[in-house]
Amino acid sequence: MSTPIESRQARVIDELRVFIKKVLSDPTIAVKSVDIARKYRSEPDSDEVIAREISANTNIRIPEEWSDADRMFLEIVHEVLDDEEALY
């Protein structure tokens, strides 16, 4: 029997597996996601705008109620942009 924490971690892992499969099947997702994040990063409520635009322009669906995996994805996109800015 698993604990609530283990169940939550398993759900996040399952969501990330599906996400990784989508990215590997369509390599433009990563580029589009970063481009969208770059465009809307300075907007008020940027994460909501970015999530909505990624959902509208890729086969990644980020629902209005974010899961832990959705939050992690948005955090990673921001980290990629931070790393990109650090290079310049």
The predicted-structure confidence for 34-45, as pLDDT tens digits, reads as follows: 999 999 999 999
For 22-67, the pLDDT digits (tens) are 888 998 999 999 999 999 999 999 999 999 999 999 999 999 999 8
Q: With cut-offs at 50, 70 and 90, classify the pLDDT of residue 2.
A: confident
Tell me the C-alpha distance between 50 and 10, whole Å: 26
Burial class, 80, CB count within 10 angstroms (exposed 0-12 / middle 13-18 / buried 19+): middle
Would you state the structure tokens that stand for residue 6, as one six-digit string?
């283990």
pTM beyond 0.85: the answer is no
